[in-house]
Each structure stands twice: as structure tokens, then as C-alpha cells.
Structure 1
Amino acid sequence: MAGQRKASRYVVPVAVAGVAAATIGLVPALAASGDPDLPQITAQQLIEKIAASDTQTLSGTFKIDTDLGLPAFAGLLPSAPGGGSSSADPAEKLTQLVSGSHTLRVAADGPERQKLTLLDGSDEYSLIHNGNDVWAYDSKSNEVFHEKGARDAAPEEKQLPATPKELADEVLKAAGDTTSVTVGGTAKVAGRDAYQLVIKPKQSGSTVESVKIAVDAANGTPLKFTLASVSGGKPVVDAGFTKVDFGKPDAGTFDFKAPKGAKVTEGAAEKGAGKAPEDLNGMFGDLGLGDLGDLEKGGKDAEGGGFGVIGEGWTTIAKLDSGAPAPKTDEAPKEVQGFLDALGDKVSGKFGSGTVFKTKLVNALMTDDGKVYVGAVTPQALVDAANSGK
């Protein structure tokens, strides 16, 4: 368990577009072989099937395509903490997955052993979790990143539904009046029969058109994840298996020995053992998204300055009041200024004036007096929120 928590610093970010994403993907062409004829199933039964799945072993190849509608990130993403001491550090290398098309190989043998390999032409980048060790290797630079250690104190466990039925009830309850959850037919994913769970916002103003998850009809493992935007065009995220095998990978798959001549960088030991649970809050922190508790606190103080939350469901908007005028983009470096200009549109309203920075999924309004409104909502929804004075 300790090794698992230690590795989650890297495995969890990969899970968004990597190890766990390997269980939620599909290249559109894979469905062209014909939809399988499967028994009827309700959305709740399908969610129960997902919850009951106990897939511990798998290996395969998948592709992930991400299109946020952004200009190229090259030269604009920050380096890994510590000044980018190793090109193999996952904190820096895995930022590649936020844009473009990538092919990955994945293998898993329970919670203690996982391996992900990012293929880039003749170059490979591998991330390996084996027990209490996390290894990363960049073949292009011949550099290795290694981290070993564990937290002494076990975190408190989150209270989760005890049965698949309870989990399904919680999911559907959370969907409430703002979400439509249906079964949208069947599909063929990497040669396997799958049901398609379709999740859509009922609210207007969201940038999300739909989320589709293909679920293995035999074992309940999610095999497909496609996130589509109301702006149309390519999906925001379209990741998927081209090959998958649920057999146990060979034990040697997770062995690693630094190649001769490779530069090896040892990661810093984990600090603050036992101070914070490595649960959902830890995951959000590792991803730079703050603490879930902050949202609750902010929601209660949405009208008192600082951080707040406006609305609910798919049209939730986070508000941040910096209390200082917004920085002027014309004072930024030329390459950053061009990037911001490509994203931003000048807007005005009762709130005054500001700039809306756009992507296909998340938009942000920065007012000239230092307030920021951000959410997976349309630019007009942000302007309306700012005009409301909330």
C-alpha cells in the first residue's frame, strides 16, 4: 500500500491521460467493423457493471488524441519543479499528453505494478511502478529518473459505497436534474463487444456536448472515453485501445535496470509523511487543481471576495478575486503575448471590461479590475456571471 501511495504522485497524473485513460479510449475507426448485438441493459445496470469490475491485469496499445483548440504549447509549458533537473522526470515529460496525438503501450498487474510507454517515432519514454520504486526512462536523452520511499502513516480512507448497487445509486443521484445518463447502443472496441454509456448536460451554457464511455460487455472494464465539445469538430479527448489483453503480463515486464551510460537522477524523498491523505484531495493537488475542500469553503463565501463558486452542475463557475488590477498582456514576453492574443477576446458589460481566454472545454474571463471567472462554460455564461455581480 505504501508503494502504491508513493507512486500515485506520478501514476495519478498519468491516469488522467495514461494508465487509467488506457481503460477509457477508442479510435473512431475501430467502431466501423459493426455494432455487436448485445442484451438490453439500463444505464443503472451498466454503472453497476462498471462498479463490479475487478480487472487487475491487462496489457495493450492505445492511442490518445487531445484537441483543446489551443495554439502550440512548445516553449510555453513550465519546467518540472527543481528547474527540470532530468528530462525523464514525469512531472515535465507527461505534459506532452495534453495536446496532439500519442501512441502508448500499457501493462498492469494489480495495484503494485504498472508500466506505461509513450512512443514518439523511434524514441520511447517509459514510466514504471514496481512495488516501492518508480522509474522513468527517456531513451532520447538516455536519462533515468528514480524515486523510492514511502509514507509511514496510512491515510484515512474515504467512505465509499459498499456495493456496486450503492455506487450506481450514488452516481445517478449525483447526476440529478442537471445530467442525462443513458445507454447509447453498442460498439466494437479493439475487437471486444462493448456497451456505450452516454452522459450529457441538461443545462444550457456548458461547453460539454457529451461524454461517451464504452464498457466491456464481458467484464465491465471501461474501454472508451470520448469527450465532445459543443463547438463541434474533433473531440476534446479521444483515447483508445487498439489492442487489449486481460491476461497477466509477464513479471519481467516491470523490471528495470538503468542502461549503461545513462544519467540517473534520484527524486527527493516524500516530505510531510502522514500530514495529508493521498486520496482525492492528494490527486487534485498533484494535478495542480487545489484541494476539494477549497471548493466547499469557496462555495460558502462566493459573495465575500477571495475564491467562490457560482452555479451548480455542468455550469459551475469558479470565481477568484485577486483584489488587484489584471496584468497587462502587452507587458509579457513576445512569444507569450502572441499565445495570449490567440486565445483572448476583449469583452465588456455591466462588470466593466476584460478578456475571455478560450479553449474548446474550459474558458476564463479576466476582468480589468482583477476578477477571474473560469469554468467549462461558454464565454457568454462567464460574461453573464460577471454582470450578475456575484
Structure 2
Amino acid sequence: MEELLKFAPRPTGAGEMFQLMRDGAPRTRTALVQVTGHSRSTVAARLDSLVATGLIAPAGEATSTGGRPPSTYAFNPDARVILGVDLGATHARLAVTDLASTVLAELDAPLAIADGPDRVLDWVAENGEKLVASAGRPLADLAGVGVGLPGPVDHANGRPVNPPIMPGWDGVDVPHALEGRLGAQVLVDNDVNIMALGEHRISYPAERDLLFVKVATGIGAGIIMDGALRRGAQGAAGDLGHVAVPHATDIPCRCGNTGCLEAVAGGHALAAALRTLGTQVGTSADVVALVRAGDVPATQAVRQAGRDIGAVLAASVSLLNPARIVIGGVLAEAGEHLIAGIRETVYQRSLPLATQHLRIMTATTGARAGVLGAGVMVIDQLLSAASVDALVERTLQEDA
């Protein structure tokens, strides 16, 4: 982020005008004059500077009302590419997108976060570079990298903070490690936050108040309120997995406490409980496979996990009054069993006013939520008015 802002730009007005054009609709100079209220010469100068950056490109001619048809201009999402990285406890997903979040290439592979930052970040850098090439773009076109980590993150500096399932990661300068390899700015956040960003922006951009709940090895929530992601004072907002469940006070959690929701309803906990019944199961994905195969104990366990999650979410519904709760993560792939358990408890325990229009559903972006959200996080920073002004200034200096 510091790299992006070190060119402290004076406002040129080009960045502000660019925000009007991010919707991709072609516009003429005359239309921009009418919308902005600026003179034709001012609009022309700002448009020319945006075209020079590549963010805006000619988009053909508008219908003529007499005389020569006027030229139109539109946002050019192919100007640069973004790398989104979603790291879970046992998997990694990477995607290269354009500036409109269209996926150009992607990779999904097993990768243990417990292997440590050196091995994991080397893998990300190596495969990220290959993925950009497979999308048919040179590494110089990579404008930024967004990374989601399965633990608390100080978003201001991109460093993990005492992550319980990430041994060796505490305080690691993730942006520095990747920027040197990939040559682009790096932004880092908690994995559930980026999933919430991805689901919100891609599927429900008009929704103002939304909770995204990831149910996998761990459990967490991303909070969208008033249309924006809310991280809390230290970035710990949404840590549902370590809220106490009253009936489980004797169950130890990896965080050091007992009775945490994650220790009761997380994928690791469900797999352990099924093993005590003699079922051969190791991961959250194995639990989902059993449910899909009709295994009764696994189905009952997932349904009860939904009820336990619903009990915690009922308090969140009363506190935050979201319009929509979206359930993602590996265990959400178990079909309606998890969702049914959640709905059962939330609607039973929350006040009718809070649930009158509440919708609880499975994520529509599926496994892509994280990488799409990681890309959105970078795109929003990169295409902000201040950043576009900085890019315009640098482009003018380079052309001088």
C-alpha cells in the first residue's frame, strides 16, 4: 500500500472523472461535460490523460444526430491484471482476473498453511507468476496481488497476528515477501473478509447489510454493513469461531479456550466426532463426501453443526440486523443439511422484526469467493480516485 501512495498526487480531477466511467458504459466527451459540469477543454484534457494510462480506451462511435458521429470512450478492464490468492488451512486457490473481476486463469491445489511462510509464499510466488503467463500476459501487466490468510491479519501492514492455525506466521511481512518476487503491490486480509468482499461485489452489489459465514476447518464471518467491509478496531471483527457455545464448556479449542463454536461445529471437529463412531474420515471434504453419499451419522452431525452455528448467528442477527446471511466454505457444499440447521435456530431464536426479510443461503460464488474478493480488494485500491491521479501523474512524467 505504501508503494501505491508514495507518489502523493495532487488531485488532477482525472481520478474523480474515472469513477464515473468504471461501470464500463461508453460515453462521449459531450456526455461527460454534461455529467461533470466542467468545460469541454477540461474534460478533454482529463480524458486524454486517462487514455494515456490505458484505463480508458476508445469504444467506437455514438449514433450521429447530424454531422460526424462523436467518438465514445469506456473503461478498459484489460489494461492490467490482478492476482487473487486464497489460502486456507489445507488448500490454495489462485486466480488471475482483469480489472472487472473476470477470471482469466485459475489454479486450485492442496497446500498446508502449517508448512510455514517460506514454503507457502514461495509456492504462491512461483505459481502466481506461471498463472499470469498462462493468462497470456507478461508479469509487467500485474498491477497488484490480493491475499487472504486463514487467521487474524493487521490489514494496515499485511502481517498475521497470533494466528492459531498458522505456526511460524505471526508478524511475517507477507507483502514484502511477495512484492519482491512478483513486482506488484500486495494487500493482505483475513480469508473470510475477502470471501465476503467477493460474494458481495459479484453477487449482491446492491445489498447494504450482509454477513458472510465461512464454515470449513474453522468458522468465521465477514461483515458488510452500510455497503462496506467492517474489520473492527484491530481487524478481529467476525471471529465467530471462538464465540462460546453454552453446551460445550468442556470441549477444548485450538485457541486455548474451551467450548468455542469452531471446536464444536468446525470441519475438524466433525471429522473427529465421526472417527469416534468408527468412520474413516480425515478432512472437512471427507465429511461433505459422506453426507452426499447419504451417510446418516455424517448428515446428523452436519445438521447439528448448523444448529450450533445458528445459535451464535442468532445473536449476530439481533445485534447487526443483516438483510442476508451467506454461508460459504467447504461444509456449505454438504447441501441443504447445514443451511437447514442454521435456519432452524436463527428463525427460532431471533426476533420476528430482525428475521422478517432475512434470507439465509449458500454462496453463489462457491470456491471462487476468496480469490474474487482478494482481487476486488486490490482493484478498489488501485482504481480509487487518488490512485488513478497518481497513475496519471506518473504517466505524464514518463512521457515528458
Larger of the two Rg values belongs to structure = 2
TM-score, structure 2 normalization: 0.25
Higher helix fraction: Structure 1 or Structure 2?
2
Q: Hey, which of these two has a bigger chunk of strand by percent? A: 1
